[in-house]
């Protein structure tokens, strides 16, 4: 089985900006450099034939490059666990790109994504109520901003879970300049 997702990887300057905000709050599991990405579609575990079909179908993905930026921070809470994230704006071009990716995923037989698309980059995760002390962090980084950066490539990643957390490996890149 292959555990896959499709994402945009920010440039190094944006990664550095995000890493510089990730401190304190020892109850959080901070993401590392390789884990910082903007997920367009989580695929989940699929057998090799479906993974190969998806990789081939993504070669038809076409989109114009566009500019986005990091804009603020927030949190998702789900029962006793959650995630701390950096927001992204503008949302419209990302939503359009995610919709194109979604159509391709469904075309190869994946079930439709039921959750609304909320563009963000996960900074940390918690469980067992570990997000209780986030208000000072959220206030301190509310104005977090990056320079604009260009989205011109979608990457298909494989996620391997291990004792140290998830390790992500790029399987294929789908840049806008494929002709």
The three-state secondary structure class of 30 is strand
> Would you say 70 and 49 are in contact if contact means Cβ atoms under 8 Å apart?
no
For 44, the token pair is 């989940």
| Active-site option among 37, 78, 118, 141 | 37
CB atoms within 10 A of CB 150: 11
Q: Is 86 exposed, middle or buried (0-12, 13-18, 19+ CB in 10 A)?
A: buried
Query: What is the spatial distance between Cα 148 and Cα 88, in angstroms, rounded to a whole number?
Result: 10
* 37 flagged as catalytic: yes
Q: Which of 2, 79, 118, 120 is catalytic?
A: 120
Element (H, E) at 108: none
Q: How far apart are the C-alpha atoms of 173 and 170, rounded to whole Å? A: 7
CA distance 53 to 72: 37
Residues marked as catalytic: 37, 120
């Amino acid at each position: 089985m292959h555990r896959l997702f499709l994402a945009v990887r920010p440039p190094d300057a944006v990664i550095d900006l995000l890493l510089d905000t990730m401190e304190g709050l020892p109850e959080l599991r901070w993401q590392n450099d390789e884990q910082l990405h903007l997920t367009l579609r989580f695929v989940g575990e699929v057998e090799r034939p479906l993974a190969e079909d998806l990789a081939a179908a993504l070669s038809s993905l076409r989109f114009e490059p566009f500019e986005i930026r990091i804009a603020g921070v927030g949190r998702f809470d789900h029962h006793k666990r959650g995630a701390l994230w950096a927001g992204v704006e503008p949302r419209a071009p990302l939503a359009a790109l995610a919709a194109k990716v979604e159509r391709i995923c469904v075309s190869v037989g994946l079930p439709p994504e039921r959750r609304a698309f909320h563009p963000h980059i996960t900074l940390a995760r918690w469980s067992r109520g570990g997000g209780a002390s986030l208000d000072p962090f959220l206030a301190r980084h509310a104005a977090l901003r990056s320079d604009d950066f260009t989205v011109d490539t979608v990457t298909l990643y494989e996620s391997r879970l291990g004792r140290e957390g998830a390790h992500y490996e790029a399987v294929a890149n789908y840049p806008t300049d494929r002709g």
